[in-house]
Chains A and B, each alone.
Chain A
Amino acid sequence: MSVIPQDAYRRDAETNPYRPWPARITSIIDLTETEKLFEFRIIDPEIRESFTFQSGQFVELSIFGVGEAPISISSAPSKQGFVELCVRCAGDVTGALHAKQCGDVVGIRGPFGRGFPFQEMKGHDVLLVAGGLGIAPLKSLINHIHDERHEFGKVTILYGAKNPAEVLFRYQFDMWKHRDDFDLILTVDEPDESWDGERGLVTGLFDQIEVDPDNTYGAICGPPVMYKYVIDEMRKKHMDVDKIYVSFERRMKCGIGKCGHCGVGHQYTCVDGPVFNYWEAMNLQGAI
């Protein structure tokens, strides 16, 4: 057998897509009882400055000793130098993140996946529908549209949450209620006396809006049960199947098309999605 010391053949992983970059938490905002908005800055200035992404893409958030979790970027691509993640405390990694303080360091790698077709959407009306935490990736798109508002036609946002306490980004939306360049309708299933928005499911809001079917892109993000019903409403408005975009959540262990966990139909959510158009999604067995 070989007498050559095998250690001599250890090689550096030159570029390692599994290796997270240390990133510092630079702001934490409590949004609800279970959700916080974190702002991160990647510590290495070169990587921080070269980090660009599209709305709808996600990062793998790493906390060594605990693990990794895929989280959508909720800040807009037009804002560089930091990333914002809106995270629900749902388990090990997200729980460990919630226990962190401003100034603490975590790991981030990405961005991964296919986002919303922002360039294609330009010149059209957009109808964005969010349920619950689904507002996190859509907020990135909403803010990106905001920053290039003149490029778009009518912008309608429908957002539903369980109750007023769970409405995310309420501070921003409260301000936007009075803007006439965004048609924003909020609804909750269980209103309380403070609530002055709509009540009921987000699908109930479709009676209130007008859609130009030939000229409108749709984007939907929310809990899995929501998709079918919202798509039905969009189809009733005669929107094209390939102009309706949905974002999927699946279990992920790598984010780069290797570990197999995120398989949906014949695709991988992490590299082929998480954003799919409805035509593609219909062709994914077991997706909707």
Chain B
Amino acid sequence: MFFRMVEKDQIADLVRGLASEYEVVGPVEKQGRFVFAPVTGAEELRLDYDTTLLPPKRWFFPPEETIMRFRTADEEVTDDEVFAPPRVLFGLHPCDINALLLMDNVFTRDYVDPYYKARRDNTLVVGVSCTPSDTCFCNVWDTDEVHWGFDVFLTDLGDRYYASLRTVKGAELLDDYVKSSEVTEEDTAEFQRVVGEFKQAFDNDVDTTQLPVLLDAKFDSPIWDEFGEQCLSCGACSMVCPTCYCFDVTDRLAPDQKSGRRVRTWDSCQFKEFAAVAHGQNFREGRASRVKYRYYHKQWGYLSKFERVLCVGCGRCARACPSDISPVRVIEALQTGGVR
């Protein structure tokens, strides 16, 4: 990777430059919370945000999208184009970039998903360093660092950024729009000091020892019944999760019944019908079985395929859950055998 030093007051130029070529999306404040939204200038950006309500996944995998338009008379697809405008996601934290990498595994490998892929290809990612909030536990999964999946990553050194340039496009952006300088040995030492402090700032202590074994060995543990009792099956955890990718597909006919759209929408394994099949059978009828499945898949199912857990420790689900169910609590219960 290559590195450059960028003065903070250059960010306005960078965003202005980017906006001439791309739609720029970044963290903005909305009623005291942060969301990713299109911006027109750097002054709207809040690069000091802690975490956003919703993860950036919707810019690649929208909550609802038409995957094809059809004609019923001859079962022909009339249009399956992908709408993928050139876009920059500006100011993603390492957890959210890591989450994109986990999504990439699902959507861009076997049976490439053309919708996700087109947006991913047409979107530049500019990352920015963060400070841990009380719900963050990315340190537990080593997702507090990120080394690919972005174009530029900006580490905040006070009045300057230590910019990591991952791609040609990222390097060009810096060349085109900002004045940057070479990185000195002192700069790298400062970078190390800042990152060291960042790592010290986490006070989440989650014991992930032998998690896959525990998930299997304690599959019938009463802790799941307890979490099942608490869970409302609202699916909020899935909606705010940057790595939850499950979806439903439905057809919507036009009023003339001759044409229509096939639409996919976000779905959640916490919804009761998620695993229901014909003849009244439901493979995960009870709430306990569904809560368990969510964790089982994230910490073991996905791991067994892609060698990473499907969680980046962003803490959004912990904030969103009306019953305070969180990965930290679930993992602790698995370790100790008791729900706290």
Check if B114 sits within 8 Å of A10, measured CB to CB.
no
Contact A65 B260, CB 8 Å, known A17-B112, A105-B75, A249-B277 = yes
Chain A residues 247-288 with CB under 8 Å of chain B are 249-251, 253-254, 256-261, 263-267, 271, 285-286
Contact A2 B262, CB 8 Å, known A9-B86, A11-B84 = no
Q: Is B159 an interface residue (CB 8 A)?
A: no
Check if A12 sits within 8 Å of B219, measured CB to CB.
no
Q: Which of A18-26, A134-142, A153-161, A190-198 contacts B (4 or more CB under 8 A)?
A: A18-26
Of B24, B260, B275, B278, the residue contacting A263 (CB under 8 A) is B275
Residue in chain B with minimal CB distance to A88: B278
Check if B247 sits within 8 Å of A22, measured CB to CB.
no
Tell me how many residue pairs across A and B have CB atoms closer than 8 Å. Answer: 157
Residue in chain A with minimal CB distance to B83: A10
> Residues of B contacting A107 with CB < 8 Å?
75
Q: Is A99 an interface residue (CB 8 A)?
A: no
Interface size on B, residues (CB 8 A): 66
Q: Is B274 an interface residue (CB 8 A)?
A: yes
**Taking chain B's interface residues, is the majority helix, strand, or loop, or is none over half, making it mixed?**
mixed
Nearest Cβ distance between residue B104 and chain A, in whole angstroms? 12
Check if B293 sits within 8 Å of A263, measured CB to CB.
yes
> Residues of A contacting B22 with CB < 8 Å?
2
Contact A1 B23, CB 8 Å, known A249-B277, A266-B304 = yes
Q: Is B336 an interface residue (CB 8 A)?
A: no
Check if A67 sits within 8 Å of B249, measured CB to CB.
yes
Residue in chain B with minimal CB distance to A69: B278
Q: Which of B187-195, B200-208, B295-303 contacts A (4 or more CB under 8 A)?
A: B295-303
Check if A15 sits within 8 Å of B247, measured CB to CB.
no
Distance between Cα atoms of A143 and B300 in the complex (Å):
38
> Residues of A contacting B251 with CB < 8 Å?
64-67
Q: Which of B63-71, B124-132, B163-171 contacts A (4 or more CB under 8 A)?
A: B63-71
Check if A64 sits within 8 Å of B71, measured CB to CB.
yes
Q: Is B173 an interface residue (CB 8 A)?
A: no
Residue in chain B with minimal CB distance to A252: B277
- B residues near A (Cβ < 8 Å) are 19-24, 38, 40, 67-68, 70-72, 74-77, 80-86, 106-107, 110-115, 118, 122, 216, 219, 245-251, 253, 257, 260, 262, 264, 267, 269, 274-279, 281, 283-284, 289, 293, 296-297, 300-301, 304
With contacts A9-B86, A22-B75, A261-B274 known, what are 11 further pairs, Cβ within 8 A? A2-B85, A4-B21, A10-B83, A11-B82, A18-B80, A64-B260, A251-B275, A258-B113, A263-B293, A263-B301, A264-B283
Q: Which 10 residue pairs spanning A and B have beta carbons closest together?
A: A260-B246, A13-B114, A266-B301, A256-B111, A90-B278, A64-B70, A6-B85, A17-B111, A22-B75, A105-B75
Q: List 28 A-B contacts (CB under 8 A).
A: A6-B83, A9-B122, A10-B83, A13-B81, A13-B82, A16-B68, A18-B262, A19-B77, A19-B80, A64-B262, A90-B278, A90-B279, A91-B278, A105-B74, A107-B75, A251-B274, A251-B275, A251-B277, A253-B248, A253-B249, A256-B111, A257-B106, A258-B106, A258-B111, A259-B247, A259-B264, A260-B269, A261-B248
